[in-house]
Amino acid sequence: MWQAEVRVDLDAVRENVTRLRAGTSAELMAVVKGDGYGHGMLPVARAALDAGATYLGVCTLDEALTLRRAGLTVPVLAWLLAPGLPLHEGVAADVELSAASLDQLREMVEAGRRAGRPARVHLKLDTGLSRGGATAADWPALAEAAAKAQADGEIEVVGLWSHFAYADAPGHPTIDKQVVAFREGVAVAERLGITPRYRHIANSAAILTRPDAHFDLVRAGIAMYGLSPVPGERYGLRPAMTARARVILSKRVPAGEGVSYGHTYITERETTLAVVPLGYADGVPRHASNAGPIELGGRVRRIAGRVCMDQVVLDCGDDPVVAGDVATLFGAGEHGEPTADDWAEAVGTINYEIVTRFGSTRVPRIYDGARA
């Protein structure tokens, strides 16, 4: 018997990857950072590769090395790298690394020397996100240094890449500006002798809305998990994660009773309260207090009072609710249950955060689908 669980449908992941691949001639990178957006990095990576992904993308070196230790041999790109990391271990494991500055490039050259093989590098250009990547002013020097290091046999430049700031708002003027800036940056690198196999800027939103930005490789993140990157659009994607728990206690209380910490919810009449054993230690946002939607007994109800570390309370009125009944926080929405999008709207965040919160918790993940 289970108390609370997160179920992940790997068939949904495969279907989503298949759908995304059908819309592009580029290769597809499955982004599995953040423990696969809370879905489990290794099972999701294998499902995506089954469906035709050819690349894996992560943030950290540790994530990349975990994929390698699990026996996954496809290309893996790691792109968030602090100074002083043992990059030579990544190079030895054939992990591709992202460089956005001369200092990072120097570290990768040295890592290649220590590993006894050239580091495989993607040069990142900042085209307008103002986050990672070399600025337009610094890009020529980075590209020139990379071209020299490649000519000396110290690195192999595998890719040139960037990231959109506003692709989730189709038609936003920054999108065209970033595509132009990326093309110009690629042209600068090519004039300096860098002609890598991969050019990539398209994230999930751009995969779905900007085929002109697909280039040689696209990076599927949130869409692979069945959640749309564009508010109000579904694109035929099927959410893969369901979070649910069993009611542990049901009791009648009179009108005027305060519920949970701080009594931010007061019962208006005699009612049935149900205690559901999931809280902010399990991924439920505390901002969902008096707001988070949960399906129980065929009806969607709002959390009554504050979210606690381990539990929430639902006001069920006169409905017949008993201990052991299943309360569904979110799922695919196919049976009337809330979705991650519903939760995001209720607490003022994005669907990415909702599912990722459930990634590293005490709640067990159960996998469904073929080869689960």
The candidate with the shortest Cα–Cα distance to 190, out of 157, 162, 233, is 157
> What local confidence, expressed as pLDDT, does residue 220 receive?
98
The encoded tokens of residue 66 equal: 């975990």
Q: For residue 359, what pLDDT is reported?
A: 74
**Per-residue model confidence (pLDDT) at position 360:** 63
CA of 28: how far to CAs of 22, 70, 203, 236, 320, in Å? 10, 21, 10, 18, 49
Angle, helices 41-50 vs 10-22, to 10°: value is: 50
Residue ranges, the chain, pLDDT below 70:
360
The closest alpha carbon to 203, from 167, 234, 236, 239, belongs to 167
Quote the pLDDT of residue 1. 79
Which residue shows structure tokens 């307008």?
Answer: 128
**Active site residue ranges:** 33, 261
pLDDT value, residue 370: 77
Q: How far is CA 277 from CA 50, 203, 217, 333, in A?
A: 35, 36, 43, 21
Phi-psi sector, 256: left (phi>0), alpha (psi -120 to 50), beta: left
Across-strand partners of 167? Answer: none
Residue 88 has, within 13 A of its CA and on its CB side, a CA count of 9
Q: Which two tokens stand for residue 156?
A: 């192999």
Q: How many CA atoms lie within 13 A of 251 on its CB side?
A: 9
Q: Which two tokens stand for residue 107?
A: 């570290």
CB 99 within 8 A of CB 92: no
Residue with tokens 């819309």: 23
Rounded CA-CA distance 356/77 in Å is 20
Entry pTM: 0.95
